[in-house]
Structure 1
């Protein structure tokens, strides 16, 4: 089952996470929207997004660590991720 979390507005733009769940486990988390309007946004998120996605699968929860230098993206990611996990839980996938 794949579920999209809510888009969360940050100071630099929206962040939205999509989660895939199989067998009551998070098998992937993908940021389908994140700030990339400036070169700085793209540089920060080029390392922050993969770290957040890996941390999600490793921890199997929305309790992912904030990536240094990407606080707004990390906060938005966590909120969107939690909404996706809530939806997956309501659907019985988690």
Structure 2
């Protein structure tokens, strides 16, 4: 498992942990995500989509989730830092 850096967004930190097997992302999860008020609802919808996108893409080159621009940006940045540790 590789843990990306915590990225501070306007709505709170985002931190991603990935599992890499055979050079591919097999699992992605957010350890930290924006919460409180509307952020909890947005993260609850966006994070599962971002996790799926990361596994499907196998890279940090994933689309932002509509309505969750800051969360998506933080997710991608943290994901890239985790991938950097894997040498990818």
TM over 0.5: yes
Separation in 2, partners of 1:87, 1:8: 16
In structure 1, runs of 5+ residues without a counterpart are none
CA RMSD of aligned residues (A): 0.8
Separation in 2, partners of 1:62, 1:25: 12
Q: Which has the larger radius of gyration?
A: 1
How does 1:1-94 map onto structure 2 within 5 Å? 2-36=1-35, 38-89=36-87
**TM value normalised by structure 1:** 0.90
Separation in 1, partners of 2:80, 2:62: 10
Q: Extract structure 1 runs of 4+ deviating beyond 4 A.
A: none
**TM value normalised by structure 2:** 0.96
In structure 2, runs of 5+ residues without a counterpart are none
